[in-house]
């Protein structure tokens, strides 16, 4: 399963980065304000941060520029190649690992102040395994901040805004060679609770207008019309007690 996802990213990384032109910034995805507005992470100076599903590392680089010690993990060689070049260009030192984030075996237990992830969890089938690993690597009082597609967003077609599928259609889906997972809202919340992390905040950003630093607004499935009516992203902040 992750083989198909990896293959898609290996083949589409260049085009994705070229089209989206993601700025160096701590973003939360299509239709969402950035960290400058949401202020979920606090002061990053000296903090140990693990970014899972880091892609081109635009977030990780912005965190490193604020004085954080960042590790990035991604499944795709091409995405990591891009991330390494970009971090060199920005003169920051980030340690990168290639791997499936269902396991964080390369990261020591109780070692991270923050685990962060933006729009990568839609590619993870076993969120349960992943979030238990997040719990393991976080220090006591450490935070997990995630953003992912709003579970409702993909039930509606992009242009005609017609219902495409049942909200309850959970699990793997395929659109030609693109493969990812649908998770319902309660699934995501309950998996966080089961992993013993305490939820502190849930945000459904208002996507009716373009937020500063959102490179996806109007691109691909993120049409202005659809984002006006339906929420595109959810953001959750949780803490290891």
Ligand X SMILES: C[S@@+](CC[C@H](N)C(=O)[O-])C[C@H]1O[C@@H](n2cnc3c(N)ncnc32)[C@H](O)[C@@H]1O
Q: Could you list the residues that contact ligand X (CB under 6 A)? A: 2, 5, 9, 22, 53-56, 58-59, 73-76, 79, 100-101, 118-120, 123-124
What's the closest the beta carbon of residue 159 comes to ligand X, in angstroms? Answer: 21
Each residue of 127-155: b (16+ CB within 10 Å) or e? bbbbbbbbbbbbeeebbbbbbbbbbebbb
What's the closest the beta carbon of residue 122 comes to ligand X, in angstroms? Answer: 8
- CB closer to ligand X out of 25 and 168: 25
- CB closer to ligand X out of 55 and 231: 55
User: Is the CB of residue 126 less than 8 Å from the CB of residue 102?
Assistant: yes
- CB closer to ligand X out of 4 and 161: 4
What's the closest the beta carbon of residue 241 comes to ligand X, in angstroms? Answer: 26
What's the closest the beta carbon of residue 53 comes to ligand X, in angstroms? Answer: 4
What's the closest the beta carbon of residue 2 comes to ligand X, in angstroms? Answer: 5
- CB closer to ligand X out of 101 and 238: 101
What's the closest the beta carbon of residue 28 comes to ligand X, in angstroms? Answer: 8
- CB closer to ligand X out of 9 and 96: 9
What's the closest the beta carbon of residue 51 comes to ligand X, in angstroms? Answer: 7
Residue with the shortest CB distance to ligand X: 55
Q: Compute the distance between CA of residue 202 and CA of residue 146 in angstroms, rounded to an integer.
A: 10
Each residue of 15-39: b (16+ CB within 10 Å) or e? ebbeebebebbbbbbbbbbbbeebe
């Amino acid at each position: 399963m992750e083989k198909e996802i990896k293959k898609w990213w290996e083949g589409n990384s260049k085009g994705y980065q070229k089209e989206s032109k993601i700025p160096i910034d701590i973003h939360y995805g299509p239709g969402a304000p950035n960290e400058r507005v949401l202020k979920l992470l606090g002061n990053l100076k000296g903090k140990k941060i693990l970014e899972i599903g880091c892609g081109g590392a635009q977030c990780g680089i912005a965190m490193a520029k604020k004085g954080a010690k960042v590790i990035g993990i991604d499944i795709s060689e091409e995405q990591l190649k891009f991330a390494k070049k970009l971090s060199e260009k920005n003169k920051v030192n980030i340690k990168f690992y290639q791997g499936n984030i269902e396991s964080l075996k390369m990261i020591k237990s109780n070692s991270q102040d923050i685990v962060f992830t933006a729009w990568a969890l839609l590619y993870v089938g076993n969120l349960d395994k992943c979030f238990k690993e997040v719990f393991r690597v976080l220090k006591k009082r450490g935070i997990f901040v995630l953003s992912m597609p709003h579970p409702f967003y993909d039930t509606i077609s992009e242009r005609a805004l017609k219902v495409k599928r049942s909200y309850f259609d959970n699990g793997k889906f395929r659109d030609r060679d693109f493969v990812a997972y649908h998770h319902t809202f309660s699934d995501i919340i309950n998996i966080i609770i089961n992993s013993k992390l305490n939820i502190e905040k849930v945000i459904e950003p208002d996507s009716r207008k373009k937020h500063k630093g959102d490179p996806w607004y109007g691109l691909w499935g993120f049409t202005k019309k659809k984002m006006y009516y339906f929420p595109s992203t959810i953001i959750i902040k949780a803490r290891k007690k």
